[in-house]
């Protein structure tokens, strides 16, 4: 029980709030949905105030399920999948069974103090999850979860200062996020070298590429001494190997490394894990990658189409799977890096020419051979590539600084929460009513409010004489129950700057 400031006490969440969960009306009953009753699911929650839900139910749906009304101001917490995700009910609402809700006892617990405490416990709650594909926790876990409870007046002070500091941190973090988005936008513009060097309508421009079975929209006006070509005209484009499970057991086949969609990222290759595959020797020879080959994804999510980078011989004898195309430029028509930059900048073209099924996007080998390619004069290409590399290097350094800032913001947020929840954010006031007194009185009052149970008759036909507890005995029992709560040692206080959190964030 040590480690808490004077006047604080350990309690369990079930001792300081009324807990419940929701339910789901029968999905096929159309008259249960589309009513006027807000019905929350985990997707509606974003660690803020929830004032509107994506779905609603009817009075009939409410009556036919275990969903129940949640009062405004209650704390919602996800128990399935996104364990620990939070919301504050901004209006009266209902929820499905994946969400638990807590209505704090106002004479003991500030609702926002509970919210921030649960936010600080998210990682621990996640680690308590059970189950396979979708881990979950139960209301029982939540009710038995320990909470360090300050005096109620101190809770109010903690929430006030905590939210003031967090709002400043949020503002600083938003500035960093804006800069991160700007850096990514600039990097995309730099890589799109054809658009960056487009000429105005008043100047001559290179002719459009030859007609082909492709949707070409809004191609940039490249200089007149450049040319538009189709990928298949300037490079050998081939698909990769399809994995055959039966052949993987044949020891006579050649085992070689092969690149999958996950290995081929936009502007880089992720070679942290390269799988192997057994193929006939002639297939391994035909598909063996060479330095300078450009790899482009053929399938996967829609945003993966065409993304890729240049192979530099990083893994000996590697080949590629059927969802990855290899483009090998003929001679010295175009630098491989410029081809890769252009492909990565052609998301709209791939979206227009690809196919989308329910779970997969793809583009055919025939289509990708028709990708329009801007080809600058050979003498200009090295200078263009150098300019792109220098600008991207500068943006990468700026991006790294942004990521450091975001990590520091997360560290400061954790430090601030830890400071608040260990009694080191605001001073203690000896005049505040201790938490143990609050808990004991609250428990006694709730116990007294319960209807008296009728004693069951004994076997001899006489009623058992069970004397009613006095207020004093109830108070003693409540205090003893509080004292019996065990909890992990409070985390050590983390030093936190007295100056504005924004200044702390940007000074590093």
Instruction: Specify if 423 maps to a domain.
Output: no
- Is there a contact between 230 and 373 (Cβ–Cβ < 8 Å)? yes
Instruction: Specify if 183 maps to a domain.
Output: no
Instruction: Specify if 408 maps to a domain.
Output: no
pLDDT at 165: 96
Q: Give the contacts of 11 (CB within 8 A, at least 6 positions apart).
A: 146, 147, 149, 435, 439, 482, 485
Same-domain status, 349 and 237: yes
Same-domain status, 134 and 241: no
- Is there a contact between 51 and 90 (Cβ–Cβ < 8 Å)? yes
Q: Which of 148, 166, 184 is the last residue of a domain?
A: 148
Same-domain status, 237 and 367: yes
Q: 120-142: b or e for each residue (b if 16 or more CB lie within 10 Å)?
A: bbbeebeebbeeeeebebebebb
The count of domains in the chain is: 2
Range of the domain at 48: 11-148
Instruction: Specify if 246 maps to a domain.
Output: yes
Q: What are phi and psi of 278, to 5 degrees?
A: -100, 125
Instruction: Specify if 6 maps to a domain.
Output: no
CATH number at residue 292: 3.90.220.20
User: Which is it for strands 99-104 and 17-21: parallel, antiparallel or unpaired?
Assistant: antiparallel
Same-domain status, 136 and 243: no
Q: Give the contacts of 404 (CB within 8 A, at least 6 positions apart).
A: 508
Instruction: Specify if 292 maps to a domain.
Output: yes
Same-domain status, 358 and 234: yes
Same-domain status, 370 and 237: yes
Q: What is the pLDDT along the chain (508 residues), one digit of tens a residue?
A: 458 999 999 999 999 999 999 999 999 999 999 999 999 999 999 999 999 999 999 999 999 999 999 999 999 999 998 999 999 999 999 999 999 999 999 999 999 999 999 999 999 999 999 987 789 999 999 999 999 999 999 999 999 999 999 999 999 999 999 999 999 999 999 999 999 999 999 999 999 999 999 999 889 999 999 999 999 999 999 999 988 777 777 888 989 999 999 999 999 999 999 999 999 999 999 999 999 999 999 877 777 889 999 999 999 999 999 999 999 999 999 999 999 999 999 999 999 999 877 667 889 999 999 999 999 999 999 999 999 999 999 999 999 999 999 999 999 999 999 999 999 999 999 999 999 999 999 999 888 877 766 655 554 444 444 444 444 444 444 434 433 444 444 333 333 333 344 444 444 4
Q: Which of 124, 148, 172 is the last residue of a domain?
A: 148
Same-domain status, 356 and 252: yes
Crossing angle for the helix pair 152-191 and 111-120, nearest 10 degrees? 50
Q: Whole-prediction pTM value? A: 0.73
The closest alpha carbon to 360, from 304, 295, 309, 320, belongs to 304
- Is there a contact between 120 and 418 (Cβ–Cβ < 8 Å)? yes
Which tokens belong to 1? Answer: 């029980």
Instruction: Specify if 454 maps to a domain.
Output: no
Block residue for tokens 């036909």: 461
Q: Which of 148, 172, 193 is the last residue of a domain?
A: 148
Instruction: Specify if 497 maps to a domain.
Output: no
pLDDT at 482: 39
Same-domain status, 135 and 19: yes
Say whether 438 sits in a helix, a strand or coil.
Answer: helix
């Amino acid at each position: 029980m040590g480690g808490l400031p004077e006047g604080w006490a350990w309690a369990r969440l079930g001792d300081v709030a009324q807990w419940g969960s929701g339910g789901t009306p029968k999905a096929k009953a159309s008259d249960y949905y589309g009513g006027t009753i807000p019905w929350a699911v985990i997707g509606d929650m974003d660690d803020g105030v929830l004032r509107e839900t994506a779905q609603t139910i009817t009075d009939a749906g409410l009556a036919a399920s275990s969903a129940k009304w949640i009062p405004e101001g209650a704390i919602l917490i996800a128990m399935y999948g996104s364990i620990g995700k939070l919301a504050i009910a901004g209006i009266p609402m209902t929820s499905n069974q994946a969400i638990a809700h807590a209505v704090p006892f106002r004479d003991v617990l500030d609702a926002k103090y509970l919210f921030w405490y649960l936010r600080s416990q998210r990682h621990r709650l996640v680690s308590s999850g059970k189950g396979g594909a979708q881990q979950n926790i139960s209301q029982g876990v939540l009710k038995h979860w320990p909470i360090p409870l300050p005096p109620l007046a101190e809770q109010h002070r903690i929430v006030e200062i905590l939210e003031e500091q967090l709002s400043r941190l949020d503002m600083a973090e938003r500035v960093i996020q804006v800069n991160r988005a700007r850096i990514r936008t600039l990097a995309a513009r730099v890589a799109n070298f054809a658009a960056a060097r487009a000429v105005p309508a008043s100047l001559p421009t290179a002719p459009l590429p030859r007609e082909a079975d492709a949707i070409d929209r809004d191609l940039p006006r490249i200089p007149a001494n450049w040319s538009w070509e189709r990928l298949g005209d300037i490079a050998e484009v081939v698909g990769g190997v399809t994995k055959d499970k039966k052949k993987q057991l044949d020891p006579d086949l050649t085992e070689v490394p092969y690149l999958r969609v996950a290995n081929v990222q936009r502007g880089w290759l992720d070679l942290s894990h390269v799988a192997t595959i057994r193929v006939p020797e002639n297939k391994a020879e035909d598909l063996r990658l060479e330095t300078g080959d450009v790899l482009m994804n053929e399938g996967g999510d829609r945003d993966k189409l065409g993304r890729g980078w240049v192979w530099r011989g990083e893994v000996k004898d590697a080949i590629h799977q059927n969802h990855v195309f290899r483009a090998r430029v003929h001679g010295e028509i175009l630098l491989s890096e410029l081809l890769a930059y252009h492909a990565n900048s052609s998301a709209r073209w791939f979206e227009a020419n690809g196919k989308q099924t329910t779970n997969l996007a793809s583009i055919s080998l025939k289509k990708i051979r028709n990708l329009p390619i801007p080809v600058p004069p050979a003498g200009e290409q090295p200078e263009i590539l150098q300019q792109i590399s220098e600008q991207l290097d500068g943006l990468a350094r700026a991006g790294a600084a942004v990521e450091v800032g975001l990590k520091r913001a997360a560290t400061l947020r954790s430090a601030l929460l830890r400071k608040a929840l260990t009694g080191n954010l605001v001073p203690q006031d000896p005049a505040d009513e201790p938490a143990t007194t609050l808990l004991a009185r609250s428990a006694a009052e709730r116990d007294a409010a319960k209807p008296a149970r009728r004693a069951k008759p004994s076997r001899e036909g006489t009623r058992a004489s069970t004397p009613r507890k006095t207020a004093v005995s109830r108070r003693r029992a409540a205090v003893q129950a509080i004292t019996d709560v065990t909890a992990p040692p409070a985390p050590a206080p983390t030093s936190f700057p007295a100056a504005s959190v924004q200044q702390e964030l940007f000074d590093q």
